[in-house]
Amino acid sequence: MQFARTWPGALRAMRHYNFRLFFFGQLVSVIGTWMQSTALQWLVYRITGSQTSLGLVTFANFLPVLILSLFMGVVVDRFPRRTLIVFTQTWFMLMAVALAALTWLRIVQFWHILTLSLFLGVANALDMPARQAFVVEMVDGDKHDIMNAIGLNSTLFNLARIIGPAIGGMVVARLGEAPAFAINAVTFLAVITALLLMHLPPPVLADRRTAPLDNLKGGLRYLVGERAIFGLVAMVALFSMMGFGALTLLPVFAKDILHTGAEGFGQMLAMQGIGALGGALTLILFGDRLPKGRMLLLARVLIGPAIAGLALSRNVTLTMGLMVVLGYSFIVQLIFTNTLIQILVPDDLRGRVLSTYTWALGGFYPLGSLLTGFIGDHIGAPNAALLSAVACLGLVVFNLVKFPEMQRL
């Protein structure tokens, strides 16, 4: 217990034993996940030579999130969240084992990868709201530590996004894709073990005597009836489609406009990761002192100009700086939105409301990517990005007019 009290304020969520277990177990697992993502992209392009195939794999991974997330929220509220997360992490591990076996035996085909991506997406549709709803339980119900916990998780994710692809690239270059998939499978044991070692109180669950469809309707009625929460979810959906979707154009900017090639593309992603890491660290250190509603609005205001600058820039250094701004604004928006929802929503509705958040984020992003890519093919990437920027600026005005309640949160 003395050890738990020695954590500084910026890391205060680490005082909680359960959160510490999850944090370090997740660190190992997420690095492995980024290793697999890197190896999978390389494998798909190696066996198909098609950029469209890369997009199809991403779409297949997110499609179940769009279709199933709202229903999975009912499951999250009716069953212990730790049990659900252990199930999804085991599912992910088995999928990695299957991918490693198919690749090692040299029988892997594109339809195998597409099918496994769909299965992974089904598990993600359950895992995303379950993990979000589980945060409160891991910090022992202390809502003052929620933003810190979410910020620390975001920091972990962005560190893994830097470390995992670098390790994955080295493993693929020296040993091939199969070992990268196998290593990822092993890393899931870290987070599964952490979950099993936790000491948790009995969870607050929805009444299972109520029909699941009625549970879903009840969650949606609550969401629509709470203007501020509805606005938070709606704006994430709209910015995911209109703003985040512009990221699908980054390879075009790197290859055809800045002429920096694959290395430049990697640097753009790294700069975005650095911006996101900076945003997460800022909120860890100062988040409790900042007005959440106004900071959320500021993050959204930055997105449109940053995308417009990206569309107009022909200077590599300027583009890299704009990627930092985009990474910062994206992550700050998501952390504040997640935190506000966690604070405002009752425990027995948490899974259903958070499932609408993951549906808005994970479901509308691939739709925006497809739309932006389609527009870019017809009018060029810079013009498509400019349209995205104008749409984002319009969304800020829409936010102010339609959901003024959010500025007072």
Q: What is the DSSP string of 205-267?
A: ---TTS-HHHHHHHHHHHHHH-HHHHHHHHHHHHHHHHTGGGGGGHHHIIIIIS--HHHHHHH
What pLDDT does residue 262 have?
A: 57
pLDDT for 8? 59
CATH, range 212-402: 1.20.1250.20
The tens digit of pLDDT for each residue in 280-326 reads 888 877 766 778 778 888 889 999 999 999 999 999 999 999 999 99
Let me know if the fold of 1-198 is the same as that of 212-402: yes
Query: Distance (Å, rounded) from C-alpha 15 to C-alpha 144?
Result: 13
pLDDT of 5 strictly over 70 = no
Q: What is the mean pLDDT of residues 6-31?
A: 83
Tell me the mean pLDDT in the region 252-261. 80
**pLDDT digits over 325-361, tens only?**
998 998 888 888 888 888 888 877 877 888 888 888 8
**8-13: which pairs have CB atoms within 8 A and are 24 or more residues apart?**
10/148, 10/284, 10/285, 11/148, 11/152, 11/284, 12/145, 12/148, 13/139, 13/145, 13/148, 13/149, 13/152
> Does 248 score more than 50 pLDDT?
yes
> Counting beta carbons within 10 angstroms of the beta carbon of residue 47, is it exposed (0 to 12), middle (13 to 18) or buried (19 or more)?
middle
Pick the CATH number of 1-198 from 1.20.1250.20, 3.40.50.720, 3.30.70.120, 3.40.50.300: 1.20.1250.20
Concatenate the DSSP letters of all residues of 43-108 into one string.
HHHHHH--HHHHHHHHHHHHHHHHHHHHHHHHHHHHS-HHHHHHHHHHHHHHHHHHHHHHHHTT--
* Residue 10 confidence class, pLDDT cut points 50, 70, 90: low
**pLDDT given for residue 358 in this prediction:** 82
Q: Tell me: pLDDT of 3 over 50.
A: no
Lowest mean pLDDT of 76-90, 114-128, 172-186, 261-275, name the range: 261-275
Name which of 239, 241, 240 is nearest 374 in CA terms.
241
pLDDT of the residue at 390: 95
Angle 81-104/110-138 helices, nearest 10 degrees? 150
Residue with the larger pLDDT of the pair 373 and 22 = 22
Output the average pLDDT for the chain.
84
pLDDT of residue 83: 93
Residues 214-227 have a mean pLDDT of 84
What pLDDT, on a 0 to 100 scale, did the predictor assign at position 2?
A: 43
Tens-place pLDDT, residues 202-220: 877 766 777 778 878 888 8
pLDDT surpassing 60 at residue 51: no
**CB neighbours of residue 251 within 10 Å:** 18
Residue 409 — very low, low, confident or very high, per pLDDT cuts 50/70/90?
Answer: low
Domain boundaries, the chain: 1-198, 212-402
Q: Which residue has the higher pLDDT, 306 or 277?
A: 306
pTM value is 0.75
pLDDT of residue 1: 41
Token pair belonging to 352: 């259903």
- Predicted confidence at residue 268, as pLDDT, reads 79
Residue 249: pLDDT above 70?
yes
